[in-house]
Chain A
Amino acid sequence: MHIASSETTRPRYGLRAIGLGLLAVSIGGCAPELDVQSSAPPVAAAPLQLQRLTSSRYLSTLHSLFDEEGFPALRWPTQLERDTLLHGYSTVGASELTISPRAAEQYEEAALDVTGQVFADAARRKAWVGCEPMSSEPSDDCVRSFVQNQGARFYRRPLTTQEQDEYLTLIEKIGKALSDPWQGLRFATVAWLQSPHLLYLVEQGEPDPERPDRLRLSGPELATRLSYLLWNTTPDAELQRAAQSGELLSEEGLLKQTRRLLAAPKAEPFTDQFFGEFLYLDRLDTVSKNAMQFPEWTPQLASAMRGEVLRLLRELAQSGDHDMRELFDTRTTFVNSDLAGHYGLPAELTPPPGTWKQIELPSTMQPGLLGRAGLLSLFAHATVTSPTLRGKFIRQQLLCQDIPPPPPGVAVNLEAEPSGTPKTMREKLAKHRDAPGCEGCHRLMDPIGLSLEHFGPTGKYRAEDNGLPIDPSGELDGQPFADSFGLASVLRQSPRIAECMTRQLYRYATAHLELRSEQEQILILGRKFAQTGFRFPQLVESLVLSEGFRYAARPEPSTDSQ
């Protein structure tokens, strides 16, 4: 079967019995939280899965392979399959989904288009190929060096002799048929761009000399994993060198390369991609607000909101100077003129149009993530706020506590509001916090989100809700707070925050939903993250060095005769 488990293995949600092998991260049927089981299974990495390049990794790879200084920018493919996110991450989806007929077409189109542009320009093709072929013959020096050198860039490892021969044959056949050796080279490139060795991170592992019960990734495999994680693209020459020399297989060698990659500006797409998916920021472009109520809501503003949170995360995550828990109380943020206007910031904190400015927010304003308009807008409706969605986001994404969906057969809609008697959102949601069948889950979400009621559906501060005063008090797992500042402080102190961020990064980096066998490892990584002062680069380093990133379970003996 294709999928690890089926529906039938899972207890029906909502009525789930407590203690049925529940993990520390789950809420089960919204039962009280459980303690971590002390009898955790031994650490074991997951088996290998073929991971497709996500669309952004595919595009970055094209840039890495074809960008050439001194030549005009190429026209990049715009028709690529949209990533299917699973468990929140494009990488997890990429480990599960197939290459559909449509996707195969799109890869072919992209390969023809990009190589067409490169090879149509005589100077450019010569610069890119690095020599001039005299013929299409396999004996041609230029053809041979091309296959060997460029091929290794596409395959992210040296080609075997057999693989080289395959491309030499292809070049000869097509070069002769089209009476143009350059066309032979071009179509070899078209083939590389559609090769499974480019489109997937092909990982087979090799026996781990220290532990025969598991596989370790080979040097080039580890280099590829590392490069796509930290640079979102194919390994550079230095990383390939370290892979070939065996350096990467030692902890010191791996750490050295990890630090080099993390410190480079090319690591920006890593934090953007990871936090963009972790915090749902990529979904801001599908958010709509009621134009009558919120004429300020434009695609530009939504994009600026995303940009603000990404810039804040880059600042906190990349330098290594910050405790990641500052996410909840930092006064630092980044605004452009649209956002400054949206927040109602004074002129001295407003940058000229078209530029961004790092600022310190006034102390009256909500600091950190909880006050950022992007998050507040994402988890709100088009006309009204949604304390439920805001609470759910905090539970599910920041605390890693999943909330089951409403049970079937329960009418979930709220009663009509009698005209003439306005109610606050807190009053309207009272039914969900009290009604049997609803209250178990809503009490886990709504009291968190209700503390953010001073922020309207586009994240703007508001003094009143529906003309009535707002009660921003709330509660999280028995800890009451008076307002959103109190919520921020409770979250900052919650030990779950570090563990959850670790878990989220683990999912993104290893491209699968963690198995039970990996739970203990994640908890250990989370504790180490806390011990190193919640520094994000330290978290990345320990994750990269962990068993889950460098090793794999041996595949189960296959009963498949193929």
Chain B
Amino acid sequence: MSRIIIPRRTFLKGMLHGAQVALALPLLESMTPARAEATAPRRFGLWFWGNGIRRAHWIPKTTGAAWDAPEELAPLAGVRRFVNVLTGLEIKTATHPHHSGMTGILTGARYHQVGTTRDTIVTTCAQKTVDQIAADHLGQGTPFRSLEIGICRFRGTDEGTTFQHLSHNGPNNVNPSEYSAPALFNRLFPKLPNAAELSARRSVLDAVRGQVSRLRGQVSALDRQRLEQHTESIRSIERRLEMAAQTCQAPARPSDHPDVMGQEQIEQHNQVMSDLLALALSCDLTRVFSVLFSSAGSGVIVWQAGATNGLHQLCHDEPAPQPVVHQAIVFTMKQLGYFLSRLRDTPELGGNLLDSCAILCTTELSEGNVHSNDEFPILTAGLAGGKLRGGLHVRSTFKGNTSLAPMSVLQAAGCPISSFGYGAGRVDEGIAEILV
């Protein structure tokens, strides 16, 4: 069984030069999608949680298809054949654990520091995040170019957008996540306006877009870029109004789950948001999504794991071997498991939604207590319409670049990109072991 993870080109070179022993994995039947016809659209997803993992309990000890499931991956057992575990990769642009990890995995680039006259670090993504690269390619024909969803209430710091948001179009140019289930529902299933009002709204948006364009000529170069996004944002409403016909039956209006005795109802909230997202994908309202389960350095209190303090602080304070942090990660993987099983259980064209998705699941650092950017935790989920294998643990033996993972998932989702990342974070090939 292959114990290496190498770029496809290197893989071929390796074979040619005979310098490396690299075995292609057998195509097991369980690794290929069961669907008869491959006409379902491919989708790209990003599922993010904050504060990393515990290596001892997350990294499988064996590689290949027969990997053992350590306790922190056990909650994914039900979707195992759709999931690849990628280990041994590291951020090549690391200077600060949370910030570099976040921008490293999402953009393959260093962070941009916002303001230089303080010693505290406030950062944003210098480049667009992986989901928005996907949206450039997959987001055009659907009502929503991309959907951003948040699960755990934001309990972070003001150290910049990298700590507060997930999806970025560029520096300080974010797509904020929607945290409210009723608001998400209203967004996905709006009341259809009558024709007269529709045309009035179009006229207004057209006028406003004109004003934004004219203003662009009168502001600084920096602000011009911000106004370009504003124009794009207005266009996205206009595009949706053009597609106004409702193609999907709205489900019952969901409600939010307020705290019970001061305890955040994370599990229930994750369920309702995951259900809505699965429906949005099934209805083809979008083909690109990101889920901010918890933010980088999140202070979410995972009371289900016995935590009484925020997770970030627990990672700092809890004495080794950090049993509560461990249980919090088990809980987090269980929530991911719920979302993935929801996709798996949504039938589509003889298969299911997870067959057609390519989802990058990751965090901003390896272990919270040492704040490390090596041994980066990465999963892929979904079979991308047959473009991704599943069920494998692939471990890099040479500290490969984390950018290989987003590159692979983007390629599998059908984005014709030739590289991912910048500078030391750049890669030109995906991971041979998982790409079909």
Taking Cβ atoms with an 8 Å cutoff, the residues of A that contact B are 1-10, 12-13, 16, 23, 25-28, 47-50, 79, 81-82, 84-88, 96-105, 108, 112, 166, 170, 173-174, 177-178, 183, 187, 190-191, 194-197, 202, 204, 286, 288-291, 293, 297-298, 381-383, 386, 396, 402-417, 512-516, 519, 555, 558-560, 562
Are the CB atoms of A96 and B317 closer together than 8 Å?
no
Are the CB atoms of A102 and B172 closer together than 8 Å?
no
Q: Which of B207, B313, B317, B369 has the most CB of A within 10 A?
A: B207
Task: Please list 23 pairs of residues, one from A and one from B, whose beta carbons are closer than 8 Å in the complex, sorted by A's number.
Answer: A3-B114, A3-B126, A79-B186, A87-B115, A87-B118, A87-B122, A88-B158, A97-B226, A102-B187, A187-B201, A187-B203, A187-B204, A190-B204, A196-B227, A197-B211, A204-B219, A382-B301, A406-B371, A412-B317, A412-B370, A416-B320, A516-B117, A562-B216
Beyond A98-B172, A196-B211, A408-B371, is A25–B220 a contact (Cβ under 8 Å)? no
Are the CB atoms of B161 and A101 closer together than 8 Å?
no
Interface string of B152-186 (1 = CB under 8 A from A): 01110010110011000111111110101001001
Which residues in B have their C-beta under 8 angstroms from that of A290? 308
Which residues in A have their C-beta under 8 angstroms from that of B154? 82, 286
B124 at interface by CB-CB < 8 Å: yes
Are the CB atoms of A100 and B220 closer together than 8 Å?
no
Which residues in B have their C-beta under 8 angstroms from that of A559? 221
Segment with Cβ contacts to A, from B229-237, B328-336, B350-358: B229-237
Say which residue of B119, B171, B215, B223 sits within 8 Å of A26 (CB atoms). B119
**Cα A259 to Cα B285 with chains together (Å):** 53
Closest to B371 in A: A408
Are the CB atoms of B118 and A513 closer together than 8 Å?
yes
Beyond A382-B309, A402-B118, A415-B319, is A560–B110 a contact (Cβ under 8 Å)? no
**Cα A516 to Cα B201 with chains together (Å):** 46
B111 at interface by CB-CB < 8 Å: yes
Closest to B195 in A: A177
Beyond A85-B158, A97-B173, A197-B211, is A408–B145 a contact (Cβ under 8 Å)? no
Are the CB atoms of B124 and A3 closer together than 8 Å?
yes
Say which residue of A26, A194, A558 sits within 8 Å of B118 (CB atoms). A26
Taking Cβ atoms with an 8 Å cutoff, the residues of B that contact A are 94-98, 110-124, 126, 145, 148, 153-155, 158, 160-161, 164-165, 169-176, 178, 180, 183, 186-187, 196, 199-201, 203-205, 207-208, 210-212, 215-227, 229-230, 232-234, 236-237, 261-264, 299, 301, 308-310, 313, 315-320, 322, 369-373
Are the CB atoms of B178 and A49 closer together than 8 Å?
no
Interface residues of B: mostly helix, strand, loop or mixed?
mixed
Which residues in A have their C-beta under 8 angstroms from that of B225? 2
Say which residue of B153, B171, B216, B227 sits within 8 Å of A3 (CB atoms). B171
Q: Which of A84, A197, A402, A414 has the most CB of B within 10 A?
A: A84
Q: Which of A9, A81, A101, A514 has the most CB of B within 10 A?
A: A101
Query: Shortest distance in angstroms between A395's beta carbon and chain B's nearest beta carbon?
Result: 11
Which residues in B have their C-beta under 8 angstroms from that of A516? 117
**Cα A196 to Cα B301 with chains together (Å):** 39
Are the CB atoms of B170 and A2 closer together than 8 Å?
yes
Closest to A49 in B: B223
**Cα A289 to Cα B308 with chains together (Å):** 7
Say which residue of B110, B186, B234 sits within 8 Å of A8 (CB atoms). B110
Are the CB atoms of B230 and A413 closer together than 8 Å?
no
Are the CB atoms of B201 and A288 closer together than 8 Å?
no
